[in-house]
Structure 1
Amino acid sequence: MAFTKKRIFNIAFYVLIVAIIFTPLGFKVKVFTNQIFSGNPNTLKQEEQIVLQNYNWKFVDAKENSFNFNDYQGKVVFINFWATWCPPCVAEMPSLQKLYTDYKNDVEFIFLASDKVKNVNKYLKENNFSFNVYYSNYKLPQELKHTVIPTTFVLNKSGKIIVKETGAKDWNSEKTRKLLDKLLKE
């Protein structure tokens, strides 16, 4: 059986596809692809913006310290649902870290992981991310329910959902910064 150039190319192509799909290399390729194609987040149309009705929601940090969402009423809140095994989630983390670094004293950031604490801690350490991550086993407010990750919400001081985005986004964009600055002045 002679190996022609075409046959060698086909074998190499299939090996590459298998490597991308079934190895850690594939995860990195998916993350890179998501970073390239992530766009800027958009605000919801006025008629789509709804006010959060129920602030009675609890979540915990990695040390099991409990937090109540009631404490965040009257503040600009940025909520991101994510996991370390999710390529679009991982793709947007560098831009989220940059945004967090600049706005952590003014905006309440709540990063909620759908993951094991040890996986999250390892991921944060490996990437030098400094934001706090929380976990929720409690029922989410109806307005924050979602079916995919990453899903991100931005709430104004009145509890109105101004942004609801799914998929990887460039959160460190000028557009996002202008929106947060505007919400902080209201």
Structure 2
Amino acid sequence: MTKSKKGRISNIVFVVILLLLIIPQTRKPIQIALHKGLALISPSVNTEDDSREIHYNSWQLQDIKGNTVNFKDYKGKVVLINFWATWCPPCIAEMPNLEKLHEDYKDKVVFLFVSNEKNKVINTFLAQHKYSFNVFTPLENAPEFEVSSIPRTLLINKEGKIIIDKEGAANWNSQKVRETLDDLLK
């Protein structure tokens, strides 16, 4: 095959990929697939020196059933907070791993899946994917957490230190995360 023929084939493949990314019906599934590949990587665990301490300020959240909770009531517990949205491809990509982790640790760890979306949208998403975790909507801004991009996930130990602070998709069901949780729960 000549160089010019290879070049034309490369150009055609490039144009097809661009078109697939431009078309809304194909863009989201492609983005989710790409992020699932990125979500194979475990998040980094902070050292004691790198961990930021939180102060458990009042932060009211309401779950999809209408129950209100206050973040400060979780002081002294291991807490995993995941800021996400149903329209966010990296959020969707990491959800299966978070669901598996939630299933195994829901009785030991406080899971706060936080979204600003309407309950109807969230409930439809949860039912469609058969997710069992509860989702919370903030009733006020989180005074201790500035969230500029999603997904953003924080793992907080019993002493109130942020052990993991990860923006972007990650493998939350990894052996590394499970070992970290097991150590925090001791």
TM-score using structure 1 length:
0.88
1:48 aligns with 2:50: yes
Q: Is the 8 A contact 1:41 1:165 kept in 2?
A: yes
Structure 2 counterpart of 1:176, which letter? V
Q: Do residues 178 (structure 1) and 179 (structure 2) align? A: yes
Residue pair 1:55, 1:73 contacting (<8 A) in 2 also = no
Query: Does residue 164 of structure 1 match 2:165?
Result: yes
Query: Does structure 1 conserve the Cα–Cα contact (< 8 Å) formed by 2:101 and 2:173?
Result: yes
- Matching of residues 33-44 of structure 1 within 5 Å: 33-38=34-39, 39-44=41-46
CA contact (8 A) 2:56 2:75 kept: no
Q: Deviation per CA, 1:42-80, whole angstroms, max 9, x where unpaired?
A: 112332212111331110012332111122111100000
Task: Report which stretch shifted further, 60-69 or 168-177.
Answer: 60-69
Aligned equivalents of 1:9, 1:155: Cα separation in 2 = 48
Counterpart of 2:82 in structure 1 is: 80
Moved >3 Å (runs of 4+): 6-16
For the structure 1 residues 19 and 70, does the alpha-carbon distance in structure 2 shift closer, same or farther, using more than 3 Å as the test?
Answer: same
**Any residues of structure 2 matched to 1:23-38 within 5 Å, and which?**
23-38=24-39
Q: TM-score if structure 2 supplies the norm length?
A: 0.88
Quote the RMSD (CA, aligned, Å).
2.1
8 Å Cα contact 1:88/1:168 also seen in 2 = yes
Could you tell me how far apart the structure 2 residues matched to 1:24 and 1:122 are?
19
Letter of the 2:175 partner, please give it: E
Contact 1:54 1:141 in 2 (8 A): no
Q: Which moved more, 1:25-34 or 1:14-23?
A: 14-23
Alignment gaps of 5+ in structure 2: none
After TM superposition, the structure 1 stretch with the greater mean CA deviation from structure 2, 57-66 or 98-107, is 57-66
Tell me how far apart the structure 1 counterparts of residues 12 and 175 of structure 2 sit (CA, whole Å): 46
Identity over aligned pairs, percent? 41
**Runs (5+) with no aligned partner, structure 1:** none
Task: Please give the alpha-carbon distance, in whole angstroms, between the structure 2 residues aligned to 1:15 and 1:182.
Answer: 48
